Structure 1
């Protein structure tokens, strides 16, 4: 301190209690985050959390397994971060929160990659030993699991990374087979021949969850079917419209709508280029006749409507197939084509009649099953979408080639229709069409023998509290056992389950868990003894899978080994199809939740959390599978997030160059910024991310970090001897405690509801508005300039209470930064914020009356600070401490409240005068705070060289150029 001489102003800087912290302003997250990851590995934090949670209520989030075949994308980061926030927050709210990460390892994507490697080497996959091929698939998956595990850990995701679950683990393969065999034993498994979505590129059936829809350009044709039955309509023509010409050779009926208005239209004229002939009589839906005849190049002057056609007239008609009698077909299509009614027929588009090929359409198939015509199914198209050898004229022609491009089948059929005078119009249409989400190639509907789980048959003896069938149990679970976040997920899943067909379980591939069953040689699928149902055989299979994995199903002698001495191997056929991978992931509840020590006591997860596409994927398959084996949904909560889009709301695409890779964000900003982006967004809808959005996220982060840094500085050398009880604190501190009590409830409710946006926004607003812009701003003076006063001790006590709550409340979101903050104050080899719980908040901190009073105080303060900001902008003053305004307050209650607090300290002025007199005309006012007027006045006196307040008593004390407060502090 400078010498006390009359001509020298003392320097009191070293006497101030300035903030003391080494906590850096710049986070340096990309460089520093790996160090905390290493620290957590060293102290085994996940295991320590398990030990700490012993005896607590168990909370389990069951991980929907990502696929082990590539680097993580931004959707993975969103998904895993939300899961991590759920698990961490519930652990810190007093649960034993378990998280076992897992991977989906079987299936076509991996098999496809190995096949690509084979093709590149000129090898034939089918010539390779199946077990050797499966081992290559296993090694491929193992490699990507290691890569993805490191990428997930880098995002700060906590979990049992040392022992994740894998669907290709031997025990998992055993349980998947056992779960399948439960379907076998309860009678819900059957083999049927029906149209399924088939990928000619991948040569396998696909489930709805494996399908995505893209625009596709298809041929469209209008085909007349001649009436051959006797009666008034003989030789009239019923016109159908289809976008799949290749299915015409498999036509078996034409469907009409019983509620549609139909008429007879006769051609009276024709242009030169037209396939219609004068005198032709067409039966068409009235709503579509003009459009149909227009497509045939007929204008309204070239046809006339002759009469109505009633639905009962159509019911008895028999038609000729358009290829009937065609040369070279040897009578292949010389059969009668009946007309059938169908509720699926509309007059929205087409002709009002639907070409019906039961082997190539779901509605078509159901119409035939309904009539008992399943024996009329055709088998004309093979696994590569080729017409089979028995089909005349078209044998060997493919609908789609090996790359998913259009083959020759469509054009060949169209050309033959022209030749047979079986066409009145043709064209092209772009429409939404199903594609394989793996190969991105179009699929076809194709009749093929497959294995199904019947969702409307009684399961076993049908005795179950939640329903007798899989569908009943699933719908009951959705309605009464599961909570959905957001609620719209409930409606989506319910509608899907309510209307879905039987589950196609089989795939014609090699890498997966086989359908571990045997069929009786020579028996029909409808025969009672078609399937072998023997618990002893099932037990042998399960034991072998546990010890050797599913590969043992493919070894020489496997059939004899599993059938044992009780069954003649020559009498039984071993099934080699593999299970749909959705059955694998749908079974995870059994080998993770039920079987693992870190599963759940009842085998049911508290939460399943995935993207909205999983209503038809994992949520769906898990529900069906569990309802088939344990009678109810395997989850209590279903939480759904949206998709990730670029900043403009466009779908991300590598070809558009608008993707955002998690790795790039982590390298530039750090994982905490990515996590904060997740927390700030409403994940129930689609998320946008991009450079500008991330810049905004980083700005929020900096503001929050500065708040925490200020607290660390104020808490330098704080000890228990400095602590003040809440009842002894000034009102301002008690108001902060009241806000903390409110916020504690908000935070806990938000975390329990999985609403991280609400949690973060509440904390962020509190930090920036209530703390940085209000409480900290006011209490800087007391913290820096007071001596060892009750006010300063109370402020530091509140800082300590704030510290423990803010660091733990934010720890599930900003896992690295809160560790940084915590260790800055509580360093130590075993120290970690993630080993803490949310502190209990005393109910006594709530004080509604005090909060109401301070609402009025803050409203009045807003008017004062706004008035002073104008003076500062106009350079009348340089700082608010140069002011001593007069504040006119009309409301007696507000005025009384202001007189009980140090309002000049709250407004950071050197003085303030409160008046009940009406405010003069020149007073500053704010419309949103009526009844308060501020008249600016400069503070009188000298500037204290220690606290910078301008007061009349400065210079009148033993320490030169100080006020009374600072003089006492110096003493």
Structure 2
């Protein structure tokens, strides 16, 4: 016979009782110091949780994994430190405090104490610290209830003076050794927060993969500005085609005025297609790095890339020639906004590489576009890195 179980059990109270026994009995303290005298060491550094709100399920998931590894090595007799960390810096803390204060822009922070900018900023910083202290305490209690065994009285905080002094010392040492330089980079920018934002913040805050319309752009090759190798290519083609264009693809048409180069893949083969009746020819991708003809999906049918691209253009196109991607490097072209003052200035600054075809093999792929990519170094990380390498 089973004994009758009461249906009036207070699970919350029972949990508190068991929870209290763990700590009052010294079990957790014994666990943390089990291997203090061991010669074997397991190095564990807790990647700090952001002390900004109560923990979510994803935090519990991550903390469970961490706890698993530390328990495993503790059972194997390894000495280790059980120090939890709290991340106190970052936009997330600031934005939440701004919401509480009903602040709409950064300038409002400077007027929290009317007429005293310095005191206003100090007040805002203090409010951020208070939020961190509040939620680090809440997260500590939540973590304890998970059964996460750590030295909770010895957590580290990234806002501590010790941490900041160490970072400054580290940067100073790097600078003295010549490892730090001043330069430029292309970074995501938040106009509302008036600061750069990290890739992590982008990927965790509503970043979506979208399918949308793209733009195909026809750029005429300029045969008056050519490198020696590019001249040989054009000389070979000009007797056949009066006007030759690069058919360029982009998902960001609003950045076309900032165009500086066209990227191609040197492993690809490109086709030259003549538009019958108007003395024009366009260059598009033909074969990938395996010399396979590139295909596209239209509806439920697989078609050639040329059929896919030319299907929406009036007139007929006929393939006349093939060239390697390597042969295209060094070609110069005219762009649609060459008359703009800033575009002219950019051309004067780097005349040898301005509006030129460059090797963009690392970012030019065969499964989308035309194999010729619009490059605007001022409008994207990948473009910027390519521009830096090619001296654009």
Q: Same fold (TM over 0.5)?
A: yes
Which whole-Å CA distance do the structure 2 matches of 1:339 and 1:50 have between them? 61
Residue 104 of structure 1: how far off its partner (Å):
0.9
Quote how far apart the aligned CAs of 1:347 are.
3.4
Shift in Å, 1:148: 1.0
How many residues get paired? 340
- Specify the SS of the correspondent of 2:208: strand
Gaps of 5+ in 2: 112-116, 225-234, 287-293, 295-304, 348-353
Q: Verify the 8 A CA contact 2:98 2:104 in the aligned structure 1.
A: no
Report the alpha carbon displacement of residue 320 of structure 1 after superposing the two structures with TM.
0.7
1:319 corresponding residue in structure 2 = 333
Change (3 A) 1:218 1:134: farther
> Residues of 2 paired with 1:99 and 1:157: CA distance?
10
Match in the other structure for 1:160: 151
Q: Structure 1 residue 116 and structure 2 residue 130: aligned?
A: no
Contact 1:257/1:343 (<8 A) preserved: yes
- Whether contact under 8 Å (2:88, 2:157) holds in the other structure is yes
The 1:115–1:217 alpha-carbon spacing in structure 2 relative to 1, beyond 3 Å, is farther
Residue 297 to residue 174, structure 1, CA distance change in 2 (3 Å) = same
TM-superposed deviation, 1:80: 2.5
What SS does the aligned partner of 2:181 have?
strand
The 3-state SS of whatever aligns with 2:58 is helix
* 2:276 aligned residue: 268
Change (3 A) 1:121 1:256: closer
Q: 1:240 maps to which residue? A: 248
Q: Which residue of 1 aligns with 2:124?
A: 133
- List aligned pairs for 1:596-745, cutoff 5 A: none
Q: How does 1:903-914 map onto structure 2 within 5 Å? A: none
Relative to 1, partners in 2 of residues 1:330 and 1:235: Cα closer, same or farther, differing over 3 Å? farther
- Rounded Cα–Cα distance in structure 2 between residues aligned with 1:43 and 1:331: 73
Cα separation, partners in 2 of 1:282 and 1:52, compared to 1, 3 Å: closer
1:312, 1:86 → 2: CA distance?
A: 51
Pick the aligned partner of 2:16 from 34, 51, 64.
Answer: 34
From 172, 177, 180, the equivalent of 2:163 is 172
Against the structure 1 CA distance between its residues 124 and 235, is the aligned structure 2 distance closer, same or farther, given a 3 Å change threshold? farther
1:302 to 316, 319, 323: 316
Residues 537-590 of structure 1: CA deviation (Å, up to 9, x unaligned): xxxxxxxxxxxxxxxxxxxxxxxxxxxxxxxxxxxxxxxxxxxxxxxxxxxxxx
1:389-538 equivalent positions in 2, closer than 5 A: none
SS at match of 2:64: helix
Give the C-alpha shift of residue 126 in structure 1: 4.9
CA, structure 1 residues 158+312, in 2 after alignment: closer, same or farther (shift >3 Å)?
closer
Q: From the superposition, tell whether residues 218 and 141 of structure 1 become closer, same or farther in structure 2 (CA, over 3 Å).
A: farther
- Cα distance in structure 2, aligned partners of 1:131 and 1:258: 55
Of 113, 120, 138, which residue of structure 2 is paired with 1:147?
Answer: 138
Q: Distance in 2 between matches of 1:367 and 1:51?
A: 52
Spell out the pairing of 1:831-870 with structure 2 (5 A cutoff).
Answer: none
Identify the residue that residue 209 of structure 2 maps to in structure 1: 215
Please tell me whether the aligned partners of residues 32 and 151 of structure 2 are also in contact (alpha carbons under 8 angstroms): no
The whole-number CA distance in structure 2 between the counterparts of 1:312 and 1:91 is 57
- Give the SS at the match of 1:306: strand
Q: What whole-Å deviation, never above 9, does each CA across 1:508-547 have from its counterpart, x for those lacking one?
A: xxxxxxxxxxxxxxxxxxxxxxxxxxxxxxxxxxxxxxxx
CA distance in 2, matches of 1:191, 1:69: 32
Q: Who is 2:384 aligned against?
A: 365
Q: Tell me the TM-score normalised to structure 2 length.
A: 0.73
SS in 2 for 1:319: coil
Contact conserved, 1:257 with 1:311, CA < 8 A, in 2? yes
What's 2:177 paired with?
A: 186
Task: Identify the residue that residue 267 of structure 2 maps to in structure 1.
Answer: 259
CA drift at 1:351:
1.4
For the residues of structure 1 that align with 2:322 and 2:71, how far apart are their CA atoms?
70
Contact 2:85/2:157 (CA < 8 Å) preserved in 1?
yes
Q: Do the aligned partners of residues 183 and 25 (structure 1) sit closer, same or farther apart at CA in structure 2, a change above 3 Å counting? A: farther
The answer to whether residue 287 in structure 2 is matched with residue 293 in structure 1 is no
1:585 aligned residue: none
* 3-state SS in 2 of match to 1:254: strand
In structure 2, the CA distance between the partners of 1:124 and 1:243, relative to structure 1 (3 Å rule), is same
CA distance in 1, matches of 2:48, 2:242: 61
In terms of Rg, which structure is larger? 1
Once the two structures are superposed, what CA deviation does each residue of 1:771-792 show, in whole Å capped at 9, x if it has no partner?
A: xxxxxxxxxxxxxxxxxxxxxx
Q: Supply the distance in 2 between the matched residues of 1:131 and 1:340 (Cα, whole angstroms).
A: 50
1:355 aligned partner: 374
Give the secondary structure class of the aligned counterpart of 2:333.
strand
Equivalent-residue separation in structure 2 for 1:361 and 1:49 (angstroms): 50
Cα distance 1:354–1:28, how it changes in 2: closer, same or farther (>3 A)? Answer: same
- Does the 8 Å contact 1:219/1:245 carry over to 2? no
CA drift of 1:156 comes to 2.4
The TM-score normalised by the length of structure 1 is 0.32
Could you list the per-position Cα deviations for residues 418-437 of structure 1 after superposition, in whole angstroms to 9, with x for gaps in the alignment?
xxxxxxxxxxxxxxxxxxxx
Residue in 2 that maps onto 1:4: none
CA shift for structure 1 position 68: 0.7
SS of the residue corresponding to residue 248 of structure 2 reads strand
- For 2:68 and 2:360, how far apart are their aligned partners in 1? 51
Distance 2:29 2:326 in 1: 74
- Compared CA separation, residues 265 and 42, structure 1 to 2 (3 A): same
> For residues 10 and 58 of structure 2, what CA distance do their matches in structure 1 show?
25
For residue 359 of structure 2, what is the aligned residue in structure 1? 341
